[in-house]
Amino acid sequence: MKKYLLIGVSAFVLGAGSMAYVSQHAQAAATQPKANTYRMLGLFGDVLDIVERQYVTPVDDTKLIHAALDGMLTSLDPHSNYLDPEGFDDMRDQTRGEYGGLGLEVTTEDGVVKIISPIDDTPAAKAGLKPGDFITAVNGDSVLGLSVTDAVKQMRGKPGESVTLTIAREKSDPFDVKLTREIIKQKSATAKLDGDYGVLRVSGFNEKTTDEAQAAFAEIKAKNPHMKGLILDLRRNPGGLLDQAVGISDLFLEGGEIVSQRGRDPRDVERYNARPGDITNGLPMVVLIDSGTASAAEIVAGALQDRKRAAVVGLTSFGKGSVQTVIPLRGGLDGALKLTTARYYTPSGRSIQKTGIEPDLEVAASKDEAQEIANKAFGFSEASFKNALNADEGKARKGAHEPAEAPPEGFDVKKDFQLTRAEDVLKYGSVAATPKLAAPTARLAAILSKSKVAEAKPTAPKQP
């Protein structure tokens, strides 16, 4: 029996791949179902029979059963679901780093399709779609209430054909975006020189990521052999293959643990370790993260932070700290189950499920982003899902607060403020030695804070 380990963030992918292949032939011993289980299975059959005979129009039995399977699994957590045979084939294709689509990674929330992240250099990214946007219609047809699988099918089609998405965005009226489907050949790792520093951008983790990253670094190192530091940019990286997250971490570590995963049985622990050899020969490093940094990307950030290999700059990451196992049914002929089977832990033993990786230097990309952090306890993160797997050991994500830094008055809006501050950390040698900027003033947050104080004061009871 072949299983697949997933650590990607989304419930369904229109972008980067999200699984790692491992061969496992062990299968959990079957447990004797309880009598109540047999009764409930009989109830399911009775309901299916009634629907077949009495629903107002003829029904498709296969579609009904697939929907029931998906509903059962999605009730567990946002990342467990049923993949029909077509969906399972699509998922396997996506991990190869070349596929047709729009370049979106999406999930569903309360029956609405929500964008987790657009993929770099794809139609979705070029059109300006953002994490947290809602897709309410495709080519004018509503997708509200559809499963993520069915909604995605509405968006798929032949490369070269156009599709119009209706987008709902906070503080904006709904608007249409016309996209042209492409064969997306995703290059998940690129690099550039910015003065004395190298910037290695990793946008996702597919089968080619570690090789691409190593080649990209070698190219900029050849251009500037006296490079003074490296910035690993993991912002808006939704995750992907576990082995590639381990591979990227391994490029910069001389040994020791990168990540461990632990299942229901406390004895079921699997550890992944680095091998000797650092491709940078010990160059100072900074990792850039934000709320769109998820799953496999959080493994890398957490490993380099815990091992004191790199300072982390940016915003608290998404907080997706669970592992999914994809279990093919009849070799994939009946699709597959995607089931949450473990949490993953950083080298220091941190489970970041719901909580995320907190940066060593918190930096907002803009004043508006700083304001959003001040006003919202969670924003768009794993903790915002109603049925997310609980954080380990009762930990909670940091609530609404003023981020440490935001672009000051006069900062060139065309420049990347978070990248600038990452370079400052490299320049001064550490976060502690880097001169700090004044914290931004969050106007609405102060008003909300006063309102909460007022609400806390006792008031006289009112008559209905």
Which one, of 230, 361, 245, lies nearest residue 298 by Cα?
245
Residue 414 among the catalytic residues: no
Would you say residue 249 has pLDDT above 60? yes
Would you say residue 400 has pLDDT above 80? yes
| Beta pairing class for 229-233 and 285-289 | parallel
Percent of the chain clearing pLDDT 70 (strictly above): 85
Q: Which is more confidently placed, 95 or 138?
A: 138
Residue 130 among the catalytic residues: no
Would you say residue 63 has pLDDT above 80? yes
Q: Identify the pLDDT of residue 443.
A: 60
CB 297 within 8 A of CB 239: yes
Task: Please tell me the CATH code under which domain 100-185 is placed.
Answer: 2.30.42.10
pLDDT (mean) for 291-299: 94
Would you say residue 349 has pLDDT above 70? yes
Q: Identify the pLDDT of residue 393.
A: 67
Would you say residue 410 has pLDDT above 60? yes
pLDDT (mean) for 359-380: 84
Out of 3, 114, 153, 320, the active site residue is 320
Q: Identify the pLDDT of residue 9.
A: 46
Long-range contacts of 35-39 (CB under 8 A, 24+ apart): none
Q: What is the mean pLDDT of the chain?
A: 85
Which one, of 79, 75, 66, 142, lies nearest residue 105 by Cα?
79
Strands (E), 290-360: 311-314, 322-328, 336-345
Spell out the domain ranges in the chain: 100-185, 189-321+342-443
Which one, of 155, 133, 138, lies nearest residue 15 by Cα?
155
Q: String of b and e for 123-141 (b: at least 16 CB within 10 Å)?
A: bbbebebbbbbbbebbeee
Q: Identify the pLDDT of residue 459.
A: 35
Out of 70, 306, 360, 424, the active site residue is 306
Residue 306 among the catalytic residues: yes
Out of 18, 291, 295, 384, the active site residue is 295
Q: Going by CATH, does the domain composed of 189-321+342-443 fall within 3.30.70.1380?
A: no
CB 351 within 8 A of CB 323: no
